[in-house]
């Protein structure tokens, strides 16, 4: 029998790793708990890991009881799922859904390693807007959570192309096995379409200049990497006449913010995030059992508007007995521990019970 050659783990020069592939300690939290705790204590998110946001607030809103059936519509790293499973205390069932074939496999392995088998937790590879098909198959849900944020694991991995901060292919797909990549999408769009996308999806103040520069650069060579797009945005903002007295640092900061907004706008477009969210919000009431609770985390104003208006409309119709009057935000302490929580907003709704629906429809 041929002896299997031992492959040494990658080592890096210096105290801290620079490349994502070298960050083996942060990417294996179960093996390197002390290092993970140190990274989190400094207010950072370890590479390849995701810190769940507003867990206590979500559990308070969902008020999970043992024996209930629930759905974590956007599984991600599984942090929220783990806490919801704890609340079920071994009775009931929780379903998890996600479109990401790369990260979902890792999360499934983590959850199974904690001892949660098919009897208590099941995974479905699905877009969360397909909640109606799942509810038709397994029955209505007593509680539903939808965390609309992109996972830290996806943002941190250069191969996914979600961030301008590290170079990688300009992809931005939540499911890289389906649809057009961001590079393909940009190459197929007109200048007016790009400008409209940047305004609608990110309120980008320099949308016209960026769209013009993208089309100009695309004519010379396809924009296929995150760095190439960031450099295009840099060139676009050099044509902008900033107010007199604007410092070089302020201009540099403007480029960073425009890059972040541009990547957000393209990601929303590539993954049809608004269309998917509209569909989910429309189907959600029918997927909830009478008295069922729904909690939704949003991360920018476009998402929050859709959630707010849908909850309000169904509340006026008597389908929801109660909804959040305003948004719940993470505490200052949580934002310090996890800076990625800053823009988070939590909204909730409770489906009316059958007798409540009748009373509301009658104007009582």
Domain at 255, CATH number = 1.10.150
Please, which pLDDT band fits residue 95 given cuts at 50, 70 and 90? very high
Judgement on whether residues 147 and 191 belong to the same structural domain of the protein: no
Domain boundary among 270, 290, 316: 270
Q: CB of 242 within 8 A of CB of 251?
A: yes
Closest listed residue to residue 209, CA positions, set 167, 184, 183, 241? 241
Judgement on whether residues 236 and 206 belong to the same structural domain of the protein: yes
Does the pLDDT of residue 45 top 80, yes or no? no
Q: Give domain status of residue 47, yes or no.
A: no
Judgement on whether residues 242 and 305 belong to the same structural domain of the protein: no
Give the CATH number, domain containing residue 318. 3.40.50.150
Closest listed residue to residue 224, CA positions, set 267, 187, 264, 257? 187
CA dist., res. 121 & res. 3, Å (int)? 39
Q: What is the per-residue pLDDT across 56-65, written as a single tens digit (0 to 9) for each?
A: 999 999 999 9
Judgement on whether residues 188 and 260 belong to the same structural domain of the protein: yes
**Mean pLDDT, residues 25-34:** 55
Counted domains in the chain = 2
Q: Give domain status of residue 97, yes or no.
A: yes
- Strand-pairing partners, residue 93, are 69
Please, which pLDDT band fits residue 115 given cuts at 50, 70 and 90? very high
Mapping DSSP to helix (H, G, I), strand (E, B) and coil, where does residue 129 land? helix
Please, which pLDDT band fits residue 12 given cuts at 50, 70 and 90? very low
Which segment of 24-33, 250-259, 350-359 scores lowest on mean pLDDT? 24-33
Please, which pLDDT band fits residue 42 given cuts at 50, 70 and 90? low
Of residues 299 and 20, more confidence is placed in 299
Q: CB of 269 within 8 A of CB of 201?
A: yes
CA dist., res. 71 & res. 58, Å (int)? 13
Q: Give domain status of residue 211, yes or no.
A: yes
Judgement on whether residues 125 and 181 belong to the same structural domain of the protein: no
Q: What is the per-residue pLDDT across 301-341, written as a single tens digit (0 to 9) for each?
A: 999 999 999 999 999 999 999 999 999 999 999 888 888 88
Closest listed residue to residue 197, CA positions, set 298, 273, 269? 269
The contacts of residue 23 (CB under 8 Å, 6+ apart) are 17, 46, 47, 48
Q: Residue 209 belongs to what H/E stretch?
A: helix 207-220
Residue 73 tokens, joined: 């519509």
**Mean pLDDT, residues 342-361:** 79
Closest listed residue to residue 109, CA positions, set 78, 65, 88? 78
Please, which pLDDT band fits residue 252 given cuts at 50, 70 and 90? very high
Q: Which domain holds residue 307?
A: 55-152+274-361
**Mean pLDDT, all residues of the chain:** 87
Does the pLDDT of residue 296 top 50, yes or no? yes
Domain boundary among 216, 247, 270: 270
Domain boundary among 208, 235, 270: 270
**Mean pLDDT, residues 245-263:** 93
Q: Give domain status of residue 60, yes or no.
A: yes
| pLDDT for res 200 | 95
CA dist., res. 23 & res. 138, Å (int)? 40
Specify the long-range contacts of residues 311-315, CB closer than 8 Å, at least 24 apart.
311/281, 311/347, 311/349, 314/285, 314/349, 315/349
Q: What is the per-residue pLDDT across 141-173, written as a single tens digit (0 to 9) for each?
A: 999 999 998 877 777 788 888 888 889 999 999
Q: Give domain status of residue 102, yes or no.
A: yes
* Complete edge-to-edge strand list for the sheet that includes strand 345-351: 121-125, 93-98, 69-72, 141-147, 288-298, 345-351, 320-323
**Mean pLDDT, residues 43-51:** 56
Q: Give domain status of residue 147, yes or no.
A: yes
Q: Give domain status of residue 135, yes or no.
A: yes
Which segment of 207-216, 244-253, 292-301, 351-360 scores lowest on mean pLDDT? 351-360
- Strand-pairing partners, residue 98, are 125
Closest listed residue to residue 149, CA positions, set 201, 77, 95? 77
Residue 75 tokens, joined: 């599984």
Phi, psi (degrees; rounded to nearest 5) at 78: 90, 10
Q: How many CB atoms lie within 10 A of CB 239?
A: 11
Judgement on whether residues 116 and 188 belong to the same structural domain of the protein: no
| Residue that has been written with the tokens 């890792």 in this structure | 106
Which segment of 78-82, 105-109, 163-167, 327-331 scores lowest on mean pLDDT? 163-167
Mapping DSSP to helix (H, G, I), strand (E, B) and coil, where does residue 347 land? strand
Does the pLDDT of residue 10 top 50, yes or no? no
| pLDDT for res 49 | 54
Does the pLDDT of residue 47 top 70, yes or no? no
| pLDDT for res 32 | 57
CA dist., res. 352 & res. 315, Å (int)? 9
Does the pLDDT of residue 122 top 60, yes or no? yes
| pLDDT for res 15 | 47
Does the pLDDT of residue 34 top 80, yes or no? no
- How many C-alpha atoms does 70 have within 13 Å on its Cβ side? 31
Judgement on whether residues 279 and 141 belong to the same structural domain of the protein: yes
**Mean pLDDT, residues 127-132:** 97
């Amino acid at each position: 029998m041929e002896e299997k050659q031992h492959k040494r783990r990658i080592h890096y020069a210096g105290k801290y790793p620079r490349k994502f592939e070298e960050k083996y300690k942060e990417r294996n939290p179960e093996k390197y708990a002390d290092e993970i705790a140190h990274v989190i204590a400094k207010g950072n998110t370890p590479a390849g890991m995701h810190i769940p946001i507003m867990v206590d607030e979500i559990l308070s809103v969902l008020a999970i009881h043992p024996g209930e059936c629930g759905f974590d519509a956007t599984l991600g790293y599984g942090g929220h799922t783990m806490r919801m499973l704890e609340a079920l205390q071994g009775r009931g069932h929780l379903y998890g859904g996600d479109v990401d074939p790369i990260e979902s496999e890792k999360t499934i392995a983590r959850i199974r390693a904690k001892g949660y088998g098919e009897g208590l937790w099941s995974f479905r590879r699905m877009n969360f807007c397909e909640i109606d098909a799942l509810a038709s198959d397994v029955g209505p849900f007593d509680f539903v959570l939808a965390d609309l944020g992109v996972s830290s694991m996806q943002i941190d991995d250069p191969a996914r192309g979600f961030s301008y901060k590290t170079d990688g292919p300009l992809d931005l797909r939540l499911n890289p096995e389906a649809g057009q990549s961001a590079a393909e999408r940009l190459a197929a769009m007109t200048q007016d379409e790009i400008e409209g996308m940047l305004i609608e999806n990110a309120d980008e103040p320099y949308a016209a200049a960026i769209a013009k520069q993208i089309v100009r650069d695309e004519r010379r060579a396809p924009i296929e990497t995150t760095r190439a797009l960031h450099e295009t945005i840099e060139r676009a903002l050099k044509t902008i006449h900033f107010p007199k007295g604007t410092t070089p640092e302020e201009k540099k900061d403007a480029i960073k913010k425009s890059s972040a907004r541009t990547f957000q706008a393209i990601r929303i477009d590539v993954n049809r995030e608004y269309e998917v969210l509209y569909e989910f919000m429309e189907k959600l009431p029918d997927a909830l059992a009478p008295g069922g609770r729904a909690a939704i985390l949003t991360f920018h104003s476009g998402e929050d508007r859709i959630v707010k208006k849908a909850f309000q409309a169904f509340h006026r119709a008597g389908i929801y007995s109660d909804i959040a009057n305003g948004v719940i935000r993470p505490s200052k302490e949580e934002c310090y521990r996890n800076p990625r929580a800053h823009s988070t907003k939590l909204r909730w709704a409770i489906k009316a019970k059958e007798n409540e629906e009748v009373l509301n429809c009658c104007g009582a």
